[in-house]
A and B are shown apart, each in its own frame.
Chain A
């Protein structure tokens, strides 16, 4: 994690008779990096130039992007398909509420809530680590339901009807909107950057191997279980941060909404449509989600039905998602987490030489 982009520099490596150069990034990656920084700077400047309606919408975009990126790390790389991540979304929101009730500024409570969800994730992992595929998925769902039923029992947290978030009474509403926006942007950037760094670390190699073939990864001696535990904790903390953003942006929380399986549905659809097992996928999927939602806003839940059908079609017939289709056509990777091999002394050839990053299967 400490070595950031330094290893992007070409590394000489002798492999077999023909000398081969191994690089991680190419010129397109450099431009993508610059582009990402420009986009973040523009997004950061946005509250000064657009109305609060736009930034409020973007806050929701950032929240879903965070959740989807976390689910992608969990399911796409670690092979842990969960339909119960709403447990940590709800817990994150309620951690913020509890801290705010005791006088903490909700923005300060956010990292604490994320850390709290990481600890909760450790406890949950002890129970579910032995479970696989469908068992794991639905047990996580039961755990989310248990969290909700326990929270409902506390009248001090608003019981079943929920409670407004205190702590912002003295803050100017315009300023609050802008702060919420910046914090959401920061959380999303931190989450995506963390995923990028995790996948570039040695752990990322294990995770990429698990993504392509879990049994194969185990058989060559990859330490799969610790990697899965680490990813589970990161995903719990990330979803906790998303839940904290949720309560801060909506200024109230209700158990039925915070622990709703709808969150899982959204993050799963977005990830599958965008492209599971790539960093770019959930980002692209989130954009598609909100374009559909805004276009079909007057037709009730139709946008969600269409998304669900689209996700089913993509999962079966285009398992690498839309980003997979784009990346295969144009040979681009915005986040270089794999390795490029080429004979020494030649210019990098774009076609199909990406190793480690060229898994052709989505989950499993």
Chain B
């Protein structure tokens, strides 16, 4: 039964990974750029939430009401200034600039806060759980995070397929020049996509901060790689693939932890490598574009 429990926990954590990954996937789909600062943005969101909570005394659970819009605005501004300037040079320049951003954020956090780890205090919610049988215990928090993640992916899917802005984003992603000829301002569309990506990664960062603790280095050491692995395992260009990728990553990690507690992360990274070599288009993806 402990195996069943591991798989269920893995599925739930996979929702969190998918929430991390969907912003990365969206930006890659639209701009063909991987934002190497993605994980650090999630960590910054955690610290911003700590600040927001300290100033406004809102309960930690509701901090996202303020933090997510802040990050969405930040994403739009960053895209229209720094990232667009890098993108005008080349894709590789963007890669280098986001890497620089990642290092600057991480060292800045170390300088201004400390290497200590923090968590968003949500009281007893963090440990409340219910049991199925004697072996399986499900934490309400993880379940809520999973439901939120699926809800965000559903909403994003609906937005991209049905709304005017969403269609514009897909048009620019498919063929930037043609969309521009039809009157779409691709820079604005990039900005919208970045706003969504930053907003979702902030939400993921807050969820992670409630579920576990965070410190300045965890953004690059774990979160970025997990998000990227979920995207690749699931396959590009499909939000449901990203969810499937996140879940597979979560399940493999939990099974790895069952075999040997120290092998949790290694198991996830090995499955990523296997998928990359054996089926580079991912679980659900179209033919690999990279």
* Residue B265 at the chain A interface, CB threshold 8 Å: yes
State the CA gap A135–B34 with chains docked (Å).
Answer: 8
Contact B228 A133 (CB under 8 A): no
User: Scoring B residues 78 to 97 as 1 if CB is less than 8 Å from chain A, else 0, what string do you get?
Assistant: 00001001100111110111
Given contacts A135-B34, A308-B104, A316-B85, whether A362 and B93 have CB atoms under 8 Å apart is yes
Given A79-B92, A83-B36, A134-B95, also A127-B111 (CB < 8 A): no
Q: Are A153 and B95 in touch, CB under 8 angstroms?
A: no
Nearest A residue to B280, CB-CB: A130
Point out the residues of chain A lying under 8 angstroms from B290, CB to CB: 131-135
Of the listed stretches A105-113, A177-185, A215-223, A297-305, chain B binds A297-305
**Closest beta carbon of chain A to B251's beta carbon, Å:** 18
- B215 proximal to A (CB < 8 A): no
Give every chain B residue within 8 A of A83 (Cβ-Cβ): 36, 99
User: Could you say which of A139-147, A198-206, A233-241 contacts chain B?
Assistant: A139-147
Q: Does A269 have its Cβ within 8 Å of any Cβ on chain B?
A: yes
Query: Smallest Cβ distance from B269 to chain A, in angstroms?
Result: 5
Of residues 88 through 114 on chain B, the ones whose CB sits less than 8 Å from some CB of chain A are 89-93, 95-97, 99-101, 103-104, 107-108, 110-111
Q: How far is the CB of B20 from chain A (nearest CB, A)?
A: 14
Within 8 A of B (CB), among A313-356: 315-317, 319
Q: Does B26 sit at the interface, judged by CB under 8 A? A: no
Q: With a CB–CB cut-off of 8 A, which chain B residues contact A141? A: 225
Check B9 for interface membership: any CB of A closer than 8 A: no
B210-248 interface bits toward A, Cβ cutoff 8 Å, 1 = contact, 0 = none: 000000000010001100110010000000000000000
* Known pairs A142-B228, A315-B86; A302 contacts B96 (CB<8 A): no
Chain B, interface residues (CB within 8 Å), range:
35 or more
- A268 CA to B229 CA, complexed, in Å: 23
B-side contacts of A133, CB under 8 Å: 32, 34, 91-92, 95, 290
Query: B225 touching A138 by the CB < 8 A rule?
Result: yes
Q: How far is the CB of A181 from chain B (nearest CB, A)?
A: 29
Whether B96 and A363, one on each chain, are in contact in the complex, defined by CB atoms closer than 8 angstroms, is yes
The answer on a CB contact under 8 Å between B103 and A304 is yes
Q: Does A309 sit at the interface, judged by CB under 8 A?
A: yes
Q: Measured between alpha carbons, how far is A363 from B91 in the docked complex, in Å?
A: 9
B270 at the interface (CB under 8 A from A): yes
Interface positions, chain A 272-312, Cβ under 8 Å from B, are 272, 300-302, 304-305, 308-309, 311-312
CB of A98 within 8 A of chain B? Answer: no
A150 to chain B: which residues have CB within 8 Å?
266
In the assembled complex, the Cα of A261 lies from the Cα of B232 at a distance in Å of 21
A361 at the interface (CB under 8 A from B): yes
Q: Is B273 an interface residue (CB 8 A)?
A: yes
B201 CB → nearest A CB, Å = 16
Complex Cα distance, B108 from A301, in Å, reads 8
- The one of A79, A269, A301 in contact with B111, judged by C-beta atoms closer than 8 angstroms, is A301
Partner of A316, one of B89, B108, B228, B229: B89
Residues of B within 8 A of A146 (CB): 266, 269-270, 273
22 pairs, CB–CB < 8 Å, chain A vs chain B: A83-B99, A127-B277, A131-B276, A134-B33, A135-B290, A137-B36, A137-B95, A138-B36, A138-B225, A142-B273, A261-B220, A265-B99, A269-B100, A301-B107, A301-B110, A302-B111, A304-B103, A308-B101, A312-B104, A316-B86, A362-B89, A362-B93
Residues of A that sit less than 8 Å from B by CB: 75, 79, 81, 83, 127, 130-135, 137-139, 141-143, 145-146, 149-150, 152-153, 261, 264-265, 268-269, 272, 300-302, 304-305, 308-309, 311-312, 315-317, 319, 361-364
A-B contact sample (15 more), CB < 8 A, given A142-B229, A364-B93: A131-B290, A132-B290, A133-B92, A135-B232, A138-B228, A143-B273, A149-B263, A261-B220, A301-B111, A305-B111, A308-B100, A308-B103, A312-B96, A315-B89, A315-B97
Query: Would you list the 10 A-B pairs with minimal beta carbon distance, nearest first?
Result: A134-B34, A364-B90, A363-B92, A364-B92, A308-B104, A312-B100, A149-B266, A135-B290, A301-B107, A265-B103
